[in-house]
Structure 1
C-alpha cells in the first residue's frame, strides 16, 4: 500500500511562500490503477515527482508497504518505475536495443541468454515485439509511450508512476495506453500504477480517481461515483465546476466525506481499522450526496442506480441493495479470486512457454550492476549512436583531417633557418649594419612562423575539443535523469564519457601534431613534448566543456558558452599581443591555449629558434613540466564540474 499523510510543498516566490501541494492525504492499495486528474497547474506532476523522490516535500510522510520512505532514503530503483512525458530514448537506437540497454544498466543477469529472454518478455508485455527492429526516431507517439513503459518494466517495479503518458495522443492510442496501464496493474498483485493525466476520457479503466484543485485533494474514489459527487452529467464538466468554488471549500467538503468513501471502497489504510467502531459506523453510513454548488453536511451512501456505467457491478449492487458492507465483502472476495486465477494463468503460460520456447526462465534478480558493467554498456551504446549519426561522423572526419591541412598551408614551405650573426666585426660599418639587419629579419621570419604554427595547432585542437564535448551531456539530459532515477551511477556515466571523448582527444591531437610535423619537415623543438602539450590542451578543453555541458540544462546554452571559451583562448593567451602586467597573472592560469603554446615553445630552448621566438613575443615561456601540471589541473576541474553536474538533478 502507498500512503501519503499531510504532504505539503511550498515554493518561495518574491519572498512569499506559494503552496504547490497543501495537506495531501490519500492511500492506494496494492494491485491498483489510480488516475490523478485536475486542471492545468493544479500540482499533478509536482505530486508525482514528490512520490518518486524527485522533489522533497516540506511536511508530511510518505509510506510505502508500511515503511517511511523518508527514513529509507527513497525507494530502491528496482521498486520504482517512472515514465516521464518527454522523449526517453536515443533516436538512433532500435526499440530492442533500448530495452536491452535498460536491462544491462538496471539488472544483473546470470548470462546473455537470460538477459535477452527478459528483453523479449518485456517487448511482448508492452506490445512492441513487431517493432523491435525499428529505430526510435520513426515511432509514433503511442509507440514511444509503450517504449517508455518497457524501459521501466525490466525491473518489474511494484510502483509505476506515469506522467502524462497519454497526452497528445489520438483517442485510439490513448485508449490503448490506458488499457495497457490497466493490464499492468492487474499483472502483479503487489503493483500500484499511477497515471497523471489531464484527460477525463477512459476513466472507467481506472480503479480510483484522485482530483486535485490548486494543490489540494478534492476527491478520491471510484470513477463511477465521480459524476455523482460533483453533481454533473459528464466528467468533462468537472473542471468548470471546480472553478466556481475555492479550493479551500472543495477540500473541506472532501475532508468530511473522505472516511466514508474510503471505508466503502476499501481504500482506508490498515491502521484506520483500529479506530473507534462507533465512529467508523457513523462515518460509513452517512449521506454521500452530490456536492455540486452546495456543501453537504450529512452523508448517505448512493444506491446502485447511481452508477450505471459498469453493468456487472451494477448487477451486484442490485443483488445486495444498499447493504454496502455485504457488497464490500463480495467485492473483496472477487478480487481474491481474480488474483488466484491470475497466478494459475501465469503458471500455465510459463509451463506452455517452456514447451514452445528454448528461452531460459527470466531471472528475478534485480540488483544494480556494478560500475564497470554500467560503464561498459554506456560506452557500447555511445559508440553505436556515433557510428549511426552520419552527420556527426562526417563532421568529425572533416575536422580531424581538415584542420591539420589548414595549419600546413602556412608552413608548407620549409621553415627558414635562423641566420647566424658573425662574431667578427667588419671595419665597414655599412656591412655590419646589413648583416645585423639580415640576422634580425631571419629571426623575425623564423620566430613568427614557428610561434604561429604552434599556436594555430593549439587553437584548432581546442576548437575540436569544444565541439566534441559541448552538447555531450546537455543534449541527452532528459535520458540521463530518467536513467539516474533507475539506478545509473554518476561515476559510471562520467567514466563512460571520459573514455569516449578521450579517444577523440588522443586521435585528433596526435594526428594534428604528427601530420604537421611531417608536412612541414619538422618544427623545431622536442616532438614528444609538443605532442604532450597538444594532448593536454585538447583534454583540458574537452573536459572543461564537458563540465559546462553537465551544468547547463540547455544544449544550445552549453554550446554558446563553450564557443565563447574557445574564442577567448587566442586573444588572452598573450601569444599575439602581450597582456598588461596587471592582467596577465590573473588571466593566464585559466587559458589552456597559453600553457600548451608556451610549453611547446619552451621545448626549443636548446635550438637557435628559441631566441628567434623570444624576439617576436613579449611574454614569458613557462617550462613544459609546469604547463603540463597546469593543464592537468584544468582537466581535474572539468571532471569535477562534470561529476557535480551529473549528480545534480535537473528535472523540469
Structure 2
C-alpha cells in the first residue's frame, strides 16, 4: 500500500512562497490502478515526482508498504518505475536494443538465456514483439509510449508511476495504453500503477480517480461516482465547474465527505491496511469497474447553497524528517548491476549510436582530415626555409655584421611562423574537443535522468563518457601532430612532449566542455557556452597579442591554449628557434612540465564538474 499523510510542498518564487501541494492525504492499495486528474498546473506532475523522490516534501509523510520513506530511505530502483510524459529513448537504437540495454543496466541476469527470456516477456507484455527491430525514430506516439513502459517494467516494479503517457494520442491509442496499464496493475497483485491524465472521458478502466485542484485533493473515489459527486451529467463537465469555487472550499467539502465515500465504496483511508469494516456490497461489476450502490452517497451539491463550511481542525502531523537518499535494501535477485557492467553497456551503446549517425561520422572525418591540412598550408614551405635561414645565421651572425638586418627579419619570420603553427594546432584540437563534448550529456539529459532513477551509477556514466571521448582525443591529436610534423619536415622541439601537450590540451577542453554539458539543461546552451570558451582561447592565450602584465596572471590559469602553446615552445630552448620565438612574443612561457600539470588540473576540474552535473537532478 502507498500512503500519503498531509503532504505539502512549496517553492520560493519572486521572494514569496508558492504552494504546489497542500495537505495531500490519500492511500492506494496493492493491485490498484489510480488516475490522477485535474486542470493544468494543479500539481499532478509535482505529486508524482514527490512520490518518486525527485522532489522533497516540506511536511508530511510518505509510506510505502508501511515503510516511512523519510526515515528508511527512498524506494529502491527495482521497486519503482517512472514513465515520463514522452518516451525517452535513443532515436537510432531499435526497440530490442533499448530494452536489452535497460535489462543490462538495471538487472542482474544469471546468463544470456535468462536475459533473452526477460526481453521476450517484456516485449510481449507491452505488445512490441512484432516491432522489436524498428528504430525508435520511426515509431508512432503510441508505440513510443509502449516502449517507455517496457523500459520500466524490466525490473517488475511494484510501484509504476506514469506521467501523462496517454497525452496527445488518438482515442484508440489512448485506450490501448490505458488497457495496458490496467493489465500491468492486474498482472501482479502487489503492484500499484498510477497514471496522470488530462482526459476525463476514458476513466472506466481505472479503479479509482484522484482529482487535484490547485494542489489540493478534492475527490478520491471510483470513476463512476465522479459525476454523482460533482453533480454533473458527464465527467468532462467537472473542469468548468471547478472554477465556480475556490480550491480551499472544494478541499474542505471533500474533507467532510471523504470518510463516507471511503465507507460506501470500500476504500481504505490513509493509516489503515484494510478497507473500512462494513458489510460487503454485492455487485456484478467487471474487473476495474466499480458499480454505484443503491444507497445515495453524499453529493457536493449538499454544500453548494450553504454558507462557507466551518473551519476543519488540521490533522496532527508527525515531525518531518528530511528524506534520506540511500536506497532501501532488497534481496539478491533485485540487486543492481556492478560498475563495470554498466560502464561497458553504456560505452557499447554509445559507439553503436555514433556509427549509425551519418552526419556525425562525416563531420568527424572532415575535421580529422581538414584541420591538419589547414595547419600544413601555412607551414609546408615556411618551416624548411626558416630552418635553412636559422642554420646559416648561426654560422655567420657574428662574422657578417652586414647581414644582421636580414637575419633579424628572418628571426621574426621564423618565430612568428613556429609560434603560429603551434598555436593553430592547439586551437584546432580544442575546437574539435569542444565539438565532441559540448552536447554529449546535455543532448541525452532526459535519458540520463530516467536511468539514474532506475539505478544507473553516475561514476559508470562518467567513465563511459571519458572512454568514448578519449578515443577521439587520442586519434585527433596524434594524427594532427604526426601529420603536421611529417609534411612540414619537422617543427623544432621534442616531438613526444609536443604530442603530450597537444593531447592534454584536447583532453582538458573535452573535460571542461563535458562538465558544461552536464551542468546545462539543454544542448543548445551547452554548445553556445562551449563555443564562447574556445573563442576566448586565442585572444587570452597571449600568443598573438601580449596581455597587460596586470591581467596576464589572472587569465592564463584558465586558458588551456596558453599552457599547450607555451609548454610546446619551451621545448625549443636548446634550438636557435627559441631565440626567434622570443623575438615575437613577450608573454611568459611556462616550462612544459608545469604546463602539463596545469592541463591535468583542468581535466580533473572538468570531470569533477561533469560528475556534479550528472548527480544533480534536472527533470523538467
TM, length-normalised to structure 1: 0.86
8 Å CA contact 2:262, 2:276 repeated in 1: no
Q: Tell me the equivalent position of 1:108.
A: 108
The alignment status of 1:632 with 2:589, answered yes or no, reads no
Distance 1:134 1:489 in 2: 28
Distance 1:455 1:243 in 2: 66
8 Å CA contact 2:36, 2:197 repeated in 1: yes
Q: Tell me the equivalent position of 1:248.
A: 248
Judging changes above 3 Å, is the alpha-carbon distance between structure 1 residues 651 and 273 closer, same or farther for their aligned structure 2 residues? closer
Q: Tell me the equivalent position of 1:506.
A: 474
Q: Tell me the equivalent position of 1:147.
A: 147
Unaligned runs of 5+ in 2: 279-292, 307-330
| CA RMSD in angstroms, aligned pairs only | 2.0
1:158-237 paired onto structure 2 within 5 Å: 158-237=158-237
Q: Could you report, residue by residue, the CA deviation over 1:301-334 in whole angstroms, capped at 9, with x for unpaired residues?
A: xxxxxxxxxxxxxxxxxxxxxxxxxxxxxxxxxx
Q: 2:461 aligned to 493, 502, 507, which one?
A: 493
Q: 1:467 aligned to 418, 435, 443, which one?
A: 435
Unaligned runs of 5+ in 1: 279-283, 298-362
Q: Tell me the equivalent position of 2:327.
A: none
SS of 1:134's partner is coil
Judging changes above 3 Å, is the alpha-carbon distance between structure 1 residues 536 and 277 closer, same or farther for their aligned structure 2 residues? closer
Distance 2:234 2:338 in 1: 52
Q: CA deviation at 1:127?
A: 0.1
Q: CA deviation at 1:272?
A: 4.3
Q: Tell me the equivalent position of 2:315.
A: none
Distance 2:582 2:189 in 1: 79
Q: Tell me the equivalent position of 1:598.
A: 566
8 Å CA contact 1:27, 1:268 repeated in 2: yes
8 Å CA contact 1:253, 1:296 repeated in 2: no
Q: CA deviation at 1:72?
A: 2.1
SS of 2:355's partner is helix
8 Å CA contact 2:95, 2:131 repeated in 1: yes
Q: Could you report, residue by residue, the CA deviation over 1:323-376 in whole angstroms, capped at 9, with x for unpaired residues?
A: xxxxxxxxxxxxxxxxxxxxxxxxxxxxxxxxxxxxxxxx99231001110000
Q: Tell me the equivalent position of 2:314.
A: none
Distance 2:339 2:533 in 1: 32
Distance 1:422 1:219 in 2: 97
TM, length-normalised to structure 2: 0.90
SS of 1:113's partner is helix
Q: CA deviation at 1:117?
A: 1.1
SS of 1:368's partner is coil
8 Å CA contact 2:263, 2:276 repeated in 1: no
Q: Tell me the equivalent position of 2:336.
A: 368
The alignment status of 1:420 with 2:393, answered yes or no, reads yes
8 Å CA contact 1:421, 1:436 repeated in 2: no
Judging changes above 3 Å, is the alpha-carbon distance between structure 1 residues 275 and 228 closer, same or farther for their aligned structure 2 residues? closer
Q: Tell me the equivalent position of 1:66.
A: 66
Q: CA deviation at 1:257?
A: 1.1
Q: Tell me the equivalent position of 2:445.
A: 477
Distance 1:579 1:238 in 2: 68
Q: Could you report, residue by residue, the CA deviation over 1:524-564 in whole angstroms, capped at 9, with x for unpaired residues?
A: 10000000010000000000000000000011010000000
Q: How many residues align?
A: 577
Q: Could you report, residue by residue, the CA deviation over 1:37-94 in whole angstroms, capped at 9, with x for unpaired residues?
A: 0011111001010001100010000000011011122100000000001331000000
Q: Which moved more, 1:248-257 or 1:89-98?
A: 248-257
Q: Could you report, residue by residue, the CA deviation over 1:608-646 in whole angstroms, capped at 9, with x for unpaired residues?
A: 111111111111211100000000000000000000000
Q: Tell me the equivalent position of 2:311.
A: none
Q: Tell me the equivalent position of 1:7.
A: 7
1:544-583 paired onto structure 2 within 5 Å: 544-583=512-551
8 Å CA contact 1:421, 1:435 repeated in 2: no
Q: CA deviation at 1:288?
A: 2.2
The alignment status of 1:24 with 2:24, answered yes or no, reads yes
The alignment status of 1:529 with 2:497, answered yes or no, reads yes
Distance 2:484 2:299 in 1: 83
SS of 2:229's partner is helix
Distance 2:176 2:332 in 1: 28
Judging changes above 3 Å, is the alpha-carbon distance between structure 1 residues 553 and 53 closer, same or farther for their aligned structure 2 residues? same
Q: Could you report, residue by residue, the CA deviation over 1:396-453 in whole angstroms, capped at 9, with x for unpaired residues?
A: 0110111000000001115112142567867xxxx72x31112112211111111111
